Structures are given as C-alpha cells and as structure tokens.
Amino acid sequence: MSVDVYINFNGNCREAVEYYAQVFETAKPQIMTFGETPPNPEYPLPDEAKELVMHTRLNINGSNVMFSDVFPGMPFVEGNNISLALVTNNTDDIKSFFNKLKEDGKVGMELQETFWSKCYGSLKDKFGIEWQFSHPSE
C-alpha cells in the first residue's frame, strides 16, 4: 500500500509532466487523455476536454507522482491543486479508510468501480485534505 501525491493542472499538465520527466531523468510518461476514455452517452465529452490529460505518472526517485488536468468547468486554485492518493489491492482497507475520513468531510465521488479501478472514491476530509482511494484494475 502506498500514499502517492496527485497534482492537478489547468490545461498545461502535458507540458509540466514532460518538463518534470526531463528534470528528474525519468522514463517518458505514458499519457491518457480524456478523449481516450470510454465514451459515456449520459455525459458527452466537450471538445475542449479531449486533448487534456486525464492521468499520467512519473516515478521520481522511488516515489509515484501522478498528474492530470482539471476537467473543463471544474474549480482550480493554484497551490491547492494537490491531493493524496492511497493505492492498494485491499478493498476492505479502502472502504474502512474512506468511511472514517468521510465523517465530517465531504465526498467528491462515492466508492465505486470505474474503468480504471475496481474501487475508486474521492473526498475532502474534515481538515480540508483531498484524498483519492483506488484499487488498481488488473
């Protein structure tokens, strides 16, 4: 189990992650855009989102650092664009930690299966810290 840093950008994620890969001499990042995600007819993807980065990551000196652009229309405040991501194969741990932290907090996305995770959810805890929980898909 690890807790990773997740940094959001306002449309310039690709530029930032390619810069960090060069600075820290990491492997070239694999980038998934919002346009590459499975379509959902209930939520059509706006054109301005298609080339934005949905997810990428770098391993910087043994630590996973994950990156994405915020979805168009979502709030972005520079300096408050970092969350902690707990990634584990233990669904019971995810549910336990999530349920404890959501007390007096605010849930952004209830725990659920997604195309990228067997169990994913996000919340802001009572101290204002953003958390993401994820069980990796196989």
pLDDT value of position 77? 84
pLDDT value of position 100? 92
**DSSP 3-state of 110:** strand
Q: What is the CATH number of the domain that holds 60?
A: 3.10.180.10
Q: Can you list the alpha helix ranges (DSSP code H) found in the chain?
A: 13-23, 91-102
Cα→Cα distances 102→5, 58, 74, 125, Å: 19, 29, 21, 6
Distance, in Å, from the CA atom of 111 to the CA atom of 107, rounded to the nearest integer, reads 9
pLDDT value of position 81? 87
Q: Which residues constitute the domain of residue 104?
A: 84-136
Q: What is the CATH number of the domain that holds 118?
A: 3.30.720.110
Distance, in Å, from the CA atom of 100 to the CA atom of 89, rounded to the nearest integer, reads 18
The DSSP code for 50 is: T
The DSSP code for 39 is: P
pLDDT per position in the chain (138 positions), as tens?
A: 678 899 999 999 999 999 999 988 999 999 999 999 998 888 899 999 999 999 999 998 788 999 999 999 888 888 778 888 888 899 999 999 999 999 999 999 999 999 899 999 999 988 788 899 999 886
Phi–psi pair at 98, nearest 5 degrees: -60, -50
User: End of a domain among 20, 37, 69?
Assistant: 69
Q: Are residues 58 and 100 in the same domain?
A: no
* Position 90 in a domain: yes
Q: How many domains does the chain have?
A: 2
